[in-house]
Amino acid sequence: MSQELHHVLLSCGYKYTPAYRIPKEALIYKKEPQSGYYVKHYKTRIGEFSVALVLCGDIHTELPVAYILDLPDVLRGRLIPHVSNEKLLCYVEQKEADWDPNNLDSLYKDVDSQIQLTLDNAMDSMESGDPYDDELEGEFSQYWNSEEKLFLLKEANRTVRLTTWLCEKTLPNGESDIEYVTIKDEKGKNELLAKWSTHREFNDNFLKERPISTHYISVNPNRLAGVIWPPKRLSDILNWLSNVDHNARNKVIERILTSGKKRHILLFDVYNQDMLAVYVEINPNTIAKNRHKLKSVKKSSIRTQMSLLCGKYTCTKFIRLSVTKADRNTLLSRNASRSGVGNLSDKRVALIGCGTIGGYLASLLLRSGAGCGDKYFHLFDSDTFAPQNFARHALTANEFGHSKAKALAKSLLSSVHIAENIKGLDMNFPITQSMLSKYDIVIDATGRPPVSKRLASTVRMISNGRRPIIIHAFNDGNGRASKVLVDNGSQCYGCMVMNPETHRAETDLRFGHINHMDERHTSCGSTFTPYDAAVSHITAALAQEAVLNTLEPDMIWTYNEHMLDGSRSKKPRMLKRQPNCAICHAV
């Protein structure tokens, strides 16, 4: 232990306490006499908290864990902002925080101040009961103390009918791995579920079982902090909802009693919080025996119905479930240029060329939504994947001798359950008006000028309403530059290479000194230029950015580049149509 830190903590009011003197029921209790913690009593308006600092790892770069040894009696068993069920106090987002690791005095005095501030804010939240309090934003579900996990593969709302399946497998160590998987109820259509089970390595035996009735419950609570938490039985759930949202409580009672089913998933969508779920099993005999009570009046009171569901023998099983959203929008949400822009799932996309650039770009496009909806994502390449391609390609040795396009499509389809409309075609892309009209976005990753020029010419024969955007992505200067050009109709590939300010004889002026023939090699009957894959990674990333920019109301650039030879890269810009471009002026 650092003597400097010891004196700093003592000056803050902490007292060093051996671990064996900590209450035995505490999570941090130890018998070892050499272990110990620094303990301090913090006063708040509701009462006093006893907090132990657990020093772990590097005291300069890792903040101590704050463990609550004691708290006011009035708060026991209740939901307290920033305090987990294990009594850990979250006083800072350590991974997001910044501090001076070389000044322990300032650092640990700040820790002390932050703990006091966090407790004060938590007590303010407890007293106010504001359901929109920032102190509990995103934390409510963290204190749910889930026992099993549920994956939600479809966005849940009032209009979508859901169903849940129980997936189970035995791990190599003999333990059982269980997942509840919720999908849209489509009357026997289980393709999405089958893909999920394949990716998660579950066998499909569970499909022989009956699905679990699933009920979406919207909860708009009048308070969050201070409630008894987490619930341990169905009666606790109903009592909680009675206190915070009686409409949600009524919905739960109605769904369970009218379904007549034994097994239920209750999916709670708590306003401004993450989702929660419970699995309950209802004893049908208990409900049947008391059916006369429910029919004794025209409409039995909620109190009577709730009393029945809270009965000792009604709910035979109760499991709290964590909810992990794995629907399409959630999976793609972090790969958008900005919130609300959307993704490529509603765009028809063609990728021409599945070599080094295309191989990396295909994966990026998938993660932006291409082929993950009703619209298709087609990959074109007539070449096969050979061992000499391995060093610069995304494919693996398993695909040697296979079609690049088909192997890449297979890899994409097997990577995530939402990939559903992807096809690899072992052929060159037919550059015709009818073929181009089938797509919204066509990406040219061939690196072949004749193909680029032909695409630019043919697309201009198509009327504006049916014309796709063409994106050319290529490496230039024998691997010295990554370049991307967006042809949105304002200019074309020909305009770029015919610009006298940047090109001569269709060659970038910066690469005029290069002897291309000396740098090229012939191997296995094909010509290649030896350079590492970094340039292709960058080109693919620039191409992805260009594709995502097409989702914006306005294009912010039509040309972008990155130089890898140490020279200065030009800023992204809007290229101008050239008066001497034979392609643009031939139309």
> What residues contact 463, with CB distance under 8 A and at least 6 apart?
none
**Alpha-carbon distance 312 to 305, whole Å?**
14
495 is catalytic: no
Question: What tokens does 578 get?
Answer: 């050239």
Question: What tokens does 466 get?
Answer: 């049916």
Active-site residue, from 56, 372, 495, 524: 524
Q: Find, among 412, 449, 453, 413, the residue nearest to 431 by Cα.
A: 453
DSSP 473-494: EEEETTTTEEEEEEESSS--HH
Question: What tokens does 93 get?
Answer: 């987002």
CA separation (Å) from 189 to 160, 184, 194, 195?
15, 9, 10, 12
Strand partners for 163? 183, 213
**Alpha-carbon distance 428 to 410, whole Å?**
18
**Alpha-carbon distance 383 to 259, whole Å?**
56
Q: Find, among 335, 339, 368, the residue nearest to 351 by Cα.
A: 368
**Alpha-carbon distance 74 to 80, whole Å?**
11
CA separation (Å) from 387 to 228, 390, 530?
62, 5, 15
Q: Find, among 94, 2, 90, the residue nearest to 51 by Cα.
A: 90
Active-site residue, from 12, 56, 90, 315: 90
Angle at 378 between CA 410 and CA 364, to 5 degrees: 70
What stretch of H or E contains 377?
A: strand 377-380
CA separation (Å) from 102 to 108, 109, 113?
11, 13, 19
> What residues contact 391, with CB distance under 8 A and at least 6 apart?
533
**Alpha-carbon distance 49 to 279, whole Å?**
35
Question: What tokens does 105 get?
Answer: 């005095």
Query: What proportions of the chain, in percent to the nearest 5, are helix, strand and coil?
Result: 35, 25, 45
Question: What tokens does 108 get?
Answer: 């640990």
Question: What tokens does 391 get?
Answer: 């060093």
Question: What tokens does 50 get?
Answer: 């006893």
> At 164, phi and psi to the nearest 5?
-125, 140
Question: What tokens does 406 get?
Answer: 């088909």
3-state SS assignment for residue 145: coil
Strand partners for 66? 53, 89
90 is catalytic: yes
CA separation (Å) from 396 to 352, 388, 401, 407, 428?
20, 12, 11, 10, 22
Catalytic residues: 90, 524
